[in-house]
Structure 1
């Protein structure tokens, strides 16, 4: 399956199918001829698949391994990888290959976007969550006080997604990725949202044909949004449904304390409730909650978190303007908007949510 991503700054393709990894190197050499290639790989992924990727190239490649986990998406690791590029003599014709999940994709993409003022890179995602992060060119690292606060827009040359690699993902990573897929249906495609509910009853042993179709459709929705709004000046902000609270939860728990997608699922449920209370929408929150409960999600804010601290982090979210708390909400399923929500409304709902946790 090939999906075109025609953004103003660059046009590229996303290929989604099983068995792609064995051909990835030679495809990259055709798509992005280079003086040298650097594979930036997650350590866990490397132990399983790095040899396959290396052998798919016709020429020698360099490799840099990144410890697994959100902690690697940091300024410290950014500096370490950038220094390695310089030590290895990488030049402006080098292509970086990001091989792993969202952490590696963001880190490697940010280095590619800034090293020598920008070099090319290719995304080879290995997790379900990376269907989202590998497309669209948003690359960044975290600060202690905020997620994805230091970054750039830097589109890849291509995205090569071997869905066969998802077979080795643990359930926690499936939950992390699937929340972002369901989000796409909620903000822009009711028929896709309904299709997901009809076909996804569990997150283990999902049929390969369903996985490929699901990821292909999700990438197409994301590509359509990015093509219209590459730099998040309008509708691309809708992709942040659930993220205002999710990022606050991740920061408060320490990056890696909860997966991004599990935090997003909590954030989506909260945003749907805010939509109904503040906008008067009639989104079926119970339907979403029951479905995600059945998939193994915990949709309540962790009870040891503090409402005021979460609120303060939400007010420093990237969508915030002049200190106002902005959230992505739903007018109805499939129709999103970005709106200012009074702090008192959010505070009250956060407190109620935390008090309800047993």
Structure 2
């Protein structure tokens, strides 16, 4: 049997009889998801639908699944006549049809195939109406984006959520599985290591996983939330702290690597009620708007002026280029730094 489906992307889907007795062509006007799978893999189950909604919200924050997002699911036996009509007999597959009944998204899970969440969701991003490109990732074939509605995109996102969640459940359960609720997967306890961090002149003993970043240890373990999490990739500078007097990005610094070093956060700059001169200069020059990047800006600026050099505005701008301000308060930030370096 050929591994390729019988119908290419963008082609009209064949009509077939659904488990509820309706014809597939009767559902024109709404996106439809067809899940071809063994009987134990059923996306229509209530507990799984809840998980789909949660995954959708995680992928697209601030939105919720449309009311018909679950009702458009149709689980079909991969050994039945509908699977044969689609050329998918005996294969676990997901197919998304748009409102016109055109095949817009499909993926087939081969035996032993592994799919990664990031790859598939990145491929789904190409389905957005605003993104004219098309990609293929982890065995998922994507259709051209022209005319694709948000409802179809949401349906495809739900399809991916089901795929990534349920393929492992079905394969782990095996053909003899009869329970409608998958058994919870055991989560091994993460190994932790004891560390002592010297922060703002005080020693703090912690138990952390070796992979924990200094930023997370500061915010989650010690509740020093002045250090902000911005991009979490070392690109915005909002998490800047001082380590042994030098500015460092705490989102890229492992907590365990910071043991034995002197760490200063924004909370450690002021002396009681007396602001650090750089903090006072930022207030004087109104060098912030929303304030989210301000702790990182101040920490980077404080480290910058320690060498007592007189820098031009252009040199300051270059030295501070790793700290981004989405409110664009850069002229005021530069003015505050210039005042301190000339004091």
Pair in the same fold by TM > 0.5: no
> Could you tell me the TM-score, scaled by structure 2's length?
0.22
Who wins on radius of gyration, i.e. which is larger? 2
> Could you tell me the TM-score, scaled by structure 1's length?
0.21
Structure that is richer in helix per residue: 1
Which fold has the larger relative contact order, with Cα–Cα distance below 8 Å and residues 6 or more apart in sequence? 1
